[in-house]
Amino acid sequence: MIALTLAEIARVTGGELRTAGEHTPDTVVDGTVDTDSRLIEPGGIFAAKPGAETDGHRFIGKAIERGAVLALVERPTDDAVSQIVVPGVVSALADLARHVVARVRDGGALTVVGITGSNGKTTTKNLIARILTDEGPTVYPHASFNNEVGAPLTMLRVRHDTRYLVCEFGASAPGEIARLAGLVTPDIGVVLMVGMAHAGGFGGIEATVKAKSELVGAIRPGGTAVLNADDPRVAGMATLARGRGVEVRWFGRGAAADVRADEVVVDAAGTSCTVYADGTAASLRLRVLGEHHVMNALAAIAVATRIGVTLAECTSRLETVELAERWRMQPLGTERIRIINDAYNASPDSMAAALRTLAQIVGPGERTVAVLGAMSELGEYADDEHDRVGLLAVRLNIQRIVVVGQDARRMYLEAIAQGSWDGEAVFFPDADAAFEYLVAELREGDRVLVKSSNAAGLRHLGDRLGESVS
């Protein structure tokens, strides 16, 4: 974080300052801010956030042991550290993040990029960061820090020399993206796609469209909206952008896009294509597995070329990326038996993309195995969408379908209902039972996809399988 006095932090957060030791209101702090006491570093600021399962106030002592010099609290404690008592720690983080980013922006050349979409946010964030890091100091989220806590914590990592801040904005209800993006008013806003992810929380697909468009509404006038030309729901957001004096920059597979891809070829080692941007062309060999990541790469290139990075520089940097993020199309195991662990998140769209990738990368004499768990936050759409995944797996001729968990059982039922399919589907109530089956079942030449939402916990099953066949 940038250097601020204790008094200034108290004023910005609307809190009451209680100094400890040699501290005075004029004491300056500039350490990193975190809600996890285990991650606090010397000089750090600990945000004692109450939670559903535990209370951050219980861990102030641990934060002090790791070097915390200030705690944001909702009630004063007896711990020997300066404290700012605020009405709400989460709101205080947002207020502090807004202030810090504004200060850095006023005094430097900071460009803020915001990203949202039903799928692909984290991968696109990492691809943009990979390109921009070579241009100057870049701050971007760890993992999927995209909610009301994670996004402000990322913003608070900027310093006066930061040139680029890349923010990922997720949401499970209307209004959340508007609040988060409103903290930084992005110069560039990226909307990747609108699908069924979180549709249950939003109340349907049209409400999801409205929620994702909140990012476009938060872009500062004169900024740029980078929109998916291939998704009609996203393309419709251009009217909102232009009505606010925001430029529209298109990415997609079609000829009308400002940044597009052609000649796409997928294999087990990655995806090759030719990228066209503003009248120039370059070949791209993505090592990140899956054809769907081409669109994420196009979005990243659309952002970077808008900033001034050449297409050749974009593609050469993207080709160094080996993994988008842990548990996202992560190759494990060996060439003998390859495990693809993509079980950090799942929606109907990402599930379909992963299954299609599995079908594309199999070679002669190799077998496709899909280990599938539940998709979360679909609400009333859950039954139909799980049915569709089971049907798609059969239509793609996935040779073994292993469904794990009661919430995913409909995938199994739909698969076995397809009488013309000559493959095999099995169901297990939990990951341990599925693991025992798979260890005995897998054979040389198998290509195994493990895919589910985070809540289903199959990412750990994928890790175990990777270790077992290595």
According to the annotation, is 122 in a ligand binding site?
yes
Q: Residue 351: which residues within 8 A CB-CB, separation 6 or more?
A: 372, 375, 389, 392, 451
Residue 123 known to bind ligand = yes
Q: Is the pLDDT of residue 174 over 90?
A: no
Domain with CATH 3.90.190.20 in the chain: 330-468
State the average pLDDT over residues 152-161: 97
Both tokens of 393, joined, read: 């797996």
Instruction: In the chain, list all ranges with CATH 3.40.1390.10.
Output: 4-87
**224 marked as part of a ligand binding site:** no
CATH topology of domain 330-468: Protein-Tyrosine Phosphatase; Chain A (3.90.190)
Domain with CATH 3.40.1190.10 in the chain: 108-318
The class that CATH gives domain 4-87 is alpha beta
pLDDT (0 to 100) of residue 418: 84
| 364-397 pLDDT tens trace | 999 999 999 999 988 888 999 999 999 999 999 9
Q: Does 3.20.20.70 match the CATH number of domain 108-318?
A: no
User: Each residue of 417-448: b (16+ CB within 10 Å) or e?
Assistant: eeeebebebbbbeebeebbeebeeebeeebbb
Find out whether 120 is annotated in a ligand binding site: yes
Whether pLDDT at 199 is above 80: no
- Cα separation, 144 vs 119, in Å, equals 12
Residue 203 counted as an annotated binding residue = no
Task: Say which amino acid occupies 241.
Answer: A
| pLDDT tens column, 313-356 | 999 999 999 887 788 889 999 989 999 999 988 899 999 999 99
pLDDT at 411 over 60: yes
Q: What is the pLDDT of residue 207?
A: 86
Q: Specify the pLDDT at position 142.
A: 84
Does the annotation place 117 within a ligand binding site?
yes
3-state SS class at 156? coil
Q: Give me the pLDDT at residue 324, please.
A: 77
Q: Is 228 annotated as a binding residue?
A: no
Residues making up the chain, counted from first to last: 470
